Amino acid sequence: MSEDTKIPTPVADSIETLDPELAAQVAIQLGLTAEEYQGVIDVQGRVPSLTELYIYSLMWSEHCSYKHSKKQLRNFSSEGEHVLQGPGENAGVISVGDGWAVAFKMESHNHPSAIEPYEGAATGVGGIIRDIFTMGARPIACMDSLRFGTLDKPRQRYLFEGAVAGIGGYGNCLGVPTVGGEVYFEEAYEGNCLINAFAIGLMREENITRAVGSGPGNLVVLIGSSTGRDGIGGASVLASQEFDEAAENKRPAVQVGDPFEEKLLIEVCLELLKRGLFVALGDLGAAGLTSSASEMASRGGVGIDIDVRKVPQRESAMQPFEIMVSESQERMLAVVKPEDFAAVEQVCKRWSVACTAIGTITDTGRFVVRDSSLTAGNDIVADMPAEMLATSAPEYDPPMLRPAYLDELQSEDLSWLSRENKSAAVLSDELLSLLASANICSREWIWRQYDHQVQSNTVLLPGADAAVVRISDTGRGGSTNRGLAMSTDCNGRYCYLDPYVGAQIALAESARNLACVGAAPSAITDCLNFGNPEKPEVFYTFHKAILGLSDACKYYGIPVISGNVSFYNESFGNAIYPTPAVGMVGVVDDISQVVTGAFKQQGDTIILVGQTEDELGGSEYLKVMYDKVTGSPPALDLELEGDVQKVVREAVRDGILQSAHDCSEGGIAVTLAECCIVGGIGAQIDLDDELPAVTSLFSESQSRIVVSVNDEQVNELINRLQQAQVPYSVIGETGGDNLSIEGKIELSLVKITEVYRESLEQLVKQR
């Protein structure tokens, strides 16, 4: 609390406060520290009531207040001419031209999913989609960034299958296509899977809506589902603590989703927004009504007065604090002018959606909670300064310590790897092992469970380097031939071995994926998944990852318009790999020019843009063949990366390329195999790079893209590469029924296709 902050005068003359000793105990039980509890007393000027204490414990929880991350997050810049809304709202918004704007955000739902994967993942999708239509945008696509332990463990198969089913179950019902995403399986995520859901929505620029309460006398209206005891304490119980043996007991804190209700809410809210009947709109997410109402009041500099008894309840005898902190899903909070309320009711009735005025906007600056079942005059159960509640949570500067493992692993000598003289037969078998790896093989088993085409705007099927959807308000309004390219990326292994470089690579890979479909990055959202921030080693990795990501964003001028931090991703004291997932969006100027990674026809020239170095540290090869996660991750030269992307992006836009595919996990051997498999065409390759065979095939050097180009365009492309001074090599030609890499790999297209396509299903079905 700063010295000059003026706390508005309380509304209540008297309020039933807790016994001071009891209050201090309850505060600790609710997850506040002794110092934080003292902060509550300072802000309130007295001992809090039970309801107030619950509210503070949630609003000041890590999940709601970002108390450990706030200072670090200030490194990010959200500046950009096209940025219409940066962080601080339900989602960020950018202009994408011709009066269209998109809102997008990525958010974690890790902890609930680790306990109950179907509902955890489903409500993760529900939550992120509410964030999007709250801004006035129609949700047009979802992606998911997922992490699990390895599939040889039954529990991991259960989590993975359940989460995928939950994502599909919710998104499919809403009619929002899930068009892409990523998944990795690694021991580090065994006790704490990651479910990061990304959603994007489309609107006309003038329709942006914000959750800013205003106009004393206006009604505060709750729309959607009734309120129950589900998800009570989700933010503090689940999201702000580590897991231990008692995790199973936390199951009641996981919410249950009703996608049908949410589908109705989307239609109701978008119709009401279009008709201008909302002054403000916010969704009820973590900490439910408490955070939604107090943030709305705080942003608008007003007060809010709510009667909990007016909130429709699905369970009997709910206490005021339970109503205030319930995380029942599919609820929205709107501010409506009194004269518009009848019209709002009418629209809601048409869609059979409940809508109830539960309070009013006031000019007191106080967040007042009443229980009208109590006697008048004594009915106030909480009376807090709204702005202080929402914004004055403590901010921490946690200690950092460079983990000892970093130096040890980074300096590991891996030269023995490339000294091994392996025959083509052995190398071919190794490539098959990589293609069968859960981290590389086809994700079709996942995405065929997602409706990836509804809304009829999906330009590329999932599995492409980047997802592309047409900018079109299908069946309602304008359609264009422009598109949105999007990708989510993060290699947690790289981030574990070097959080700074690893985070930069996450950004670079996203941008490279966009380049492959001809799009430049417009902005990113992020979902920063880490362990317990109170551990100095963990916080060091968080700090470094943020620096890496923000430095790279600034270098390329990419604004960070929204994001989410998920801490305490630990189980039994072991943290996950630092996983700063990036969700990037860019614009495709002409969707007819988009290419995929698939080889298109016989006889095209295959060119490697970029250059392979000896970089097997942190590679999938090292993990799959030797079960090691060690070494330094590949280096990233931001300038070279930018040049490689630019030349490929422009070549795609100008229609010069037949295909473009980013080199990532598994190296160029895997990239080439994927181009062949998806295209159904073989390739004859000679990697004349003077590197040892293993390095040449499987090194994960960054800034590389494999492209194919027909005879007429070869010279044009080579000219452009030379002019851009980008290293490249002509490595072969498409054609035949084999993937042949001179002296190194000889495999039939049939074989690699079978292994690549069937592996994931086999891994899931093993018993």
β-sheet with 194-204: strand ranges across:
83-85, 92-97, 100-108, 194-204, 138-148, 178-185
State the chain's maximal CA–CA distance in angstroms. 88
At 354, the amino acid letter reads A
Closest CA to 487 of 103, 232, 74, 200: 200
Closer CB to another protein, residue 341 or residue 351? 351
Nearest-10 Cα torsion for 448, 175, 108, 597 = 40
Tokens of 197: 């859901």
Tokens of 195: 């479910």
Q: Which residues, in sequence order, are bridge partners of residue 199?
A: 105, 142
Q: Which residues, in sequence order, are bridge partners of residue 359?
A: 220, 306
Closer CB to another protein, residue 2 or residue 352? 352
- The least distance separating another protein from the CB of residue 738, rounded to whole angstroms, comes to 23
DSSP 439: T
Burial of 9 (0-12, 13-18, 19+ CB in 10 A): exposed
**Rounded distance between C-alpha atoms, residue 409 and residue 568, angstroms:** 24
List 63, 111, 452, 543, catalytic entry? 63
- The least distance separating another protein from the CB of residue 755, rounded to whole angstroms, comes to 20
**Rounded distance between C-alpha atoms, residue 261 and residue 222, angstroms:** 14
DSSP 452: -
- The least distance separating another protein from the CB of residue 130, rounded to whole angstroms, comes to 17
- The least distance separating another protein from the CB of residue 352, rounded to whole angstroms, comes to 6
Closer CB to another protein, residue 529 or residue 659? 659
Residues in contact with 690: Cβ distance below 8 Å, sequence separation at least 6, in sequence order: none
DSSP 458: B
Q: Identify the H or E element spanning 587.
A: strand 579-588
**Rounded distance between C-alpha atoms, residue 355 and residue 362, angstroms:** 20
Do 67 and 396 touch, CB atoms closer than 8 A? yes
Closer CB to another protein, residue 349 or residue 402? 349
Q: Is 632 left (phi over 0), alpha (psi -120 to 50) or beta?
A: beta
| Strands 92-97, 520-529: pairing kind | unpaired
- The least distance separating another protein from the CB of residue 133, rounded to whole angstroms, comes to 14
Closer CB to another protein, residue 251 or residue 314? 314
Question: Is residue 63 among the annotated active site residues?
Answer: yes
**Rounded distance between C-alpha atoms, residue 106 and residue 572, angstroms:** 27
- The least distance separating another protein from the CB of residue 761, rounded to whole angstroms, comes to 10
Q: Identify the H or E element spanning 84.
A: strand 83-85
Tokens of 369: 């909670």
**Rounded distance between C-alpha atoms, residue 239 and residue 532, angstroms:** 11
- The least distance separating another protein from the CB of residue 588, rounded to whole angstroms, comes to 12
Closest CA to 381 of 701, 50, 663: 50
DSSP 190-230: SSS-EEEEEEEEEEEGGG--------TTPEEEEEES-B-ST
Q: Which residues bind another protein (CB under 8 A)?
A: 165, 168-169, 172-175, 258-261, 263-264, 350-352, 447-459, 470, 472, 474-476, 479, 591-592
Q: Is 130 helix (H, G, I), strand (E, B) or coil?
A: helix
Closest CA to 641 of 753, 521, 736: 521
- The least distance separating another protein from the CB of residue 678, rounded to whole angstroms, comes to 14
- The least distance separating another protein from the CB of residue 166, rounded to whole angstroms, comes to 11
**Rounded distance between C-alpha atoms, residue 145 and residue 67, angstroms:** 24
Task: State the number of CA atoms in the 13 A half-sphere of 289 facing the CB.
Answer: 34
**Rounded distance between C-alpha atoms, residue 586 and residue 483, angstroms:** 8
- The least distance separating another protein from the CB of residue 512, rounded to whole angstroms, comes to 24
List 68, 109, 452, 661, catalytic entry? 109
Closer CB to another protein, residue 6 or residue 476? 476
Q: Identify the H or E element spanning 146.
A: strand 138-148
- The least distance separating another protein from the CB of residue 707, rounded to whole angstroms, comes to 21
| Distance in Å from the first CA to the final CA of the chain | 56
Do 678 and 711 touch, CB atoms closer than 8 A? no
Catalytic residues: 63, 109
